[in-house]
Chain A
């Protein structure tokens, strides 16, 4: 069963415009949710984790248990935000990540 769904494979926004990358999950317990990012020619790295509730590079993500969503948002997109973004989940008691299929974000100058 697909635990993490990212409905958009590609997303393009203009510089300075708001951006939202969607993520929905399917899990009956209390998951840990993450956003990982892969910039061009770099390795996959953690962007943020829902429990920390922090903002990284201007990005935030709120866990909505009612809608089982963990959308990634930024009010003003920058060119350097262009990258591949993966939403990921860890089930309670486990340590392995379940990834979505990813969304490629392109910020148009």
Chain B
């Protein structure tokens, strides 16, 4: 199991453009969360997807949107890119236990480094 995978590794975009980042969760996991990590900061929660629906959302504008596919993989889309969107974008996966509780451990991917010029 390769664990959580993300693509691409690096990306350079121009202000105003749109970008799509992709994530495949760890095998057996059904929930995907996205985090933004600016330089020198801790990761900040963007949103979480479960059963192909956005379940929780952090304090991010509507320019940030996502999608989850039937195979549990996920995409993060950012429209109208700003210079301030330059960051490392992390995907994390977890799963629902047989008792209905959410597993506490989130497994992180290596991240996608987005640079907006």
Q: Which residues of A contact B48 (CB under 8 A)?
A: 95-96
Return the CB mask of B86-117 against A: 1 if under 8 Å, else 0.
Answer: 00001010100000001011111111000000
Number of B residues near A (Cβ < 8 Å) is 27
**Closest residue of chain B to A41, judged by CB?**
B110
B108 lies within 8 A of A43 (CB) = yes
A97 lies within 8 A of B43 (CB) = yes
A1-51 contacts to B (CB < 8 Å): 4, 6, 9, 32, 34, 43-46, 49, 51
**Closest residue of chain B to A6, judged by CB?**
B42
CB < 8 Å neighbour of B106 from A9, A46, A101? A46
Sort chain A's interface into a size bin.
Answer: 20 to 34
Number of A-B residue pairs at CB separation under 8 A:
55
The distance in angstroms between the C-alpha atoms of A44 and B92, with both chains bound, is: 10
B28-56 contacts to A (CB < 8 Å): 31, 33, 35, 40-45, 48, 55-56
Q: Which residues of B contact A49 (CB under 8 A)?
A: 104-105
B108 lies within 8 A of A99 (CB) = no
The distance in angstroms between the C-alpha atoms of A98 and B44, with both chains bound, is: 7
A96 lies within 8 A of B105 (CB) = no
The distance in angstroms between the C-alpha atoms of A95 and B55, with both chains bound, is: 10
